[in-house]
Amino acid sequence: MRVALLFTDGVGIGERDPTRNPLARDSYLLSQFTDGTGTALPSGGTLTPLDTCFGVKGRPQSASNQTAILTGRPAPAEIGRHILGFPNAELRTLLAEHSIVKRLHAANRSATFANGFPLPYLNMLGLLADDTQGHVAPALAARWKRKLRPSASTLAFAAGQVPFRTLQHVHQGRALTPDIDGRKSAARGFDTPLRSAKEAAAVFWNLAQDFTFFEHYFADEAGHAQDFEEARWALKTFDGFARAVVAQQPPDTQVLIVSDHGNVEDLSQRTHTLARVALLSFGPKLPRGLENLSDVGRWVLQLLEA
């Protein structure tokens, strides 16, 4: 058994109201609604709504909820609060000690992060880059150096001693840009190739290991901006990729699709929501007894017998 986890930031289960919810304007895989209706899932896929609040007051946030997914522990409940953006010292400790990637490594199961990162970013954060074959990283602008902080996902993989892929690997067909097709990355000044959803899915499965993780964060950006057009682009691009990943799925794999909290499903506000998120699962194993985001990490470990 191998597990592929496609993570997209800021997509919850909202009301079927196209005036507020861009998910109600099309039939995406994640177009799932509070009234129980939604897009029928292909390939025998299943939907499990998951709690994102952990009984903690306030709105769910990325750092603490992503830590919950990637450690299998109810991080917000353990530290008593939600942490936005990047992990604080408490979350960094949880990730260093309980990362599911670290536990997979200890169980001799392989893991890889499918995203390709700019080499200067990895260097500045002290993160191990995969073989760069003598590639010299360009200097990073001072304004970016001041802002750089590691995410929960990078800390989880660093705890497992997994080297990170770079933009060089993107060009070699051995990594993906976070925007999948490369257009947003190119517009932001990166020299990246353009790929169709099918091409990106083929790259994904060619690099896949026992546990393969891909991260997409543009829906959350669109939610904070209350931008319907950006939301449409983000949701459509991710959906095309996710459908292609499922269509090309090898028989010995389980594909999981999940978010960390709600946001884009209600563009009437800029903030995260209290909504549940949809865990979509495709493969031979049916999820049972999963209630909140930390159960995702524990289920990955169970699937991989770690």
Please enumerate in sequence order all residues whose Cβ is within 8 A of that of 137, keeping only pairs 6 or more positions apart, or say none: 118, 119, 120, 123
Average pLDDT, the chain: 94
Q: Would you give per-residue pLDDT tens digits along the chain (306 residues)? A: 999 999 999 999 999 999 999 999 999 999 999 999 999 999 999 999 999 999 999 999 999 999 999 999 999 999 999 999 999 999 999 999 999 999 999 999 999 999 999 999 899 999 999 875 544 444 555 555 556 889 999 999 999 999 999 999 999 999 999 999 999 888 888 889 999 999 999 999 999 999 999 999 999 999 999 999 999 999 999 999 999 999 999 999 999 999 999 999 999 999 999 999 999 999 999 999 999 999 999 999 999 999
Written as one string, the DSSP assignment of 135-190 is: PPPPPPPHHHHHH----HHHHHHHHTTPPBEEHHHHHTTS-B-TTSSSHHHHHTT-
Nearest residue to 260 via CA among 278, 242, 239: 278
| Domain spanning 2-303: CATH superfamily | Alkaline Phosphatase, subunit A (3.40.720.10)
Domain boundaries, the chain: 2-303
pLDDT digits (tens, 9 = 90+) for 282-295: 999 999 999 999 99
